């Protein structure tokens, strides 16, 4: 016995609620539109993304049993591959008694070696999570290897923009283009509205005027400094890779 009225995305079958997927609900709406003459079978097949012949089968099933025909026949049934509940309880009991401080992989090895019970580690992990018996250890954070600083002033200068309310309440938020020498920590800053190519030029110009040309610049991958396009013919010929306007200026200055 089925009822054609919808109920929270499903169907009432007697006293039971049969849930439907979003695709099945869309098909139900299309079938109802066909019932009132709003769609032809050809239009319905196109909306459902199926062939005309398959649409005919769906329509025939709808006429026989309504919305129940749209729901997969195995919906709500227990999988044939599901592990028996008795085995699940036995494994969890042994784990709690003998292997409570083991991870799922090692516990599965011991369960097979000592207890003769074969369980897949991922299955055991899922059971333990469901019972609140296992909290995974976070992988140790891998720290980057410390890079030694350059030995000479000007060998490498870092440049980056930092947005902040540098003038507190006395002015609007702006961007500090900061340049820092890697060897000595000597820095120079230029204040601008945004982290733009123009302000990067201004900061580099001020650095060159005070300290001379740096041998190399280190910058992040913001669009001012880094280009994601393919290099053009000239850039391939000179071996520079794709350059932004700022990068092209540095290339010509031999930075």
**Cβ(243)–Cβ(229) under 8 Å?**
no
CA distance 175 to 188: 14
Mean pLDDT by 10 residues, the chain (255 residues): 42 55 83 88 90 91 82 56 78 89 89 90 87 65 72 91 86 90 92 89 93 91 87 85 91 90
For 98, 121, 134, 170, 218, the CA distances from 115, given in Å and listed in that order, are: 11, 15, 20, 74, 59
CA distance 42 to 50: 10
**Cβ(57)–Cβ(51) under 8 Å?**
no
What pLDDT, on a 0 to 100 scale, did the predictor assign at position 52?
92
Lookup result for tokens 């980056």: 160
CATH number, span 157-252: 3.30.420.10
CA distance 253 to 255: 6
Alpha helices in the chain, H assignment, sequence order:
22-35, 41-48, 52-65, 85-98, 104-114, 121-131, 197-211, 233-238, 245-252
What pLDDT, on a 0 to 100 scale, did the predictor assign at position 73?
56
Task: Confirm or reject CATH 1.10.10 for domain 10-70, answering yes or no.
Answer: yes
């Amino acid at each position: 016995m089925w009822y054609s009225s919808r109920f929270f995305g499903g169907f009432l079958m007697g006293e039971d609620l049969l849930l439907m997927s979003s695709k099945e609900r869309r098909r139900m709406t299309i079938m109802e539109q066909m019932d009132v003459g709003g769609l032809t079978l050809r239009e319905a097949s196109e909306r459902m993304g199926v062939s005309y012949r398959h649409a005919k089968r769906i329509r025939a099933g709808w006429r026989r049993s309504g919305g129940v025909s749209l729901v997969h026949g195995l919906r709500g049934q227990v999988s044939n591959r599901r592990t028996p509940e008795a085995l699940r309880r036995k494994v969890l009991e042994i784990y709690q008694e003998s292997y409570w401080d083991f991870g799922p992989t090692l516990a599965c090895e011991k369960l097979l070696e000592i207890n003769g019970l074969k369980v897949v580690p991922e299955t055991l992990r899922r059971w333990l999570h469901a019972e609140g018996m296992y909290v995974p250890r976070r992988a140790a954070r891998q720290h980057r290897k410390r890079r030694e600083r350059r030995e000479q002033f000007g060998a490498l200068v870092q440049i980056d923009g930092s947005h902040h309310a540098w003038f507190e309440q006395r002015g609007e938020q702006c961007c500090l283009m900061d340049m820092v020498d890697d060897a000595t920590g000597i820095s120079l800053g230029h204040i601008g509205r945004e982290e733009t190519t123009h302000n990067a030029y201004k900061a580099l110009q001020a650095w060159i005027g005070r300290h001379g040309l740096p041998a190399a610049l280190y910058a992040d991958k913001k669009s001012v400094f880094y280009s994601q396009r393919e290099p053009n013919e000239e850039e391939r010929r000179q071996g520079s890779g794709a350059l932004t306007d700022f990068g092209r200026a540095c290339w010509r200055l031999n930075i």
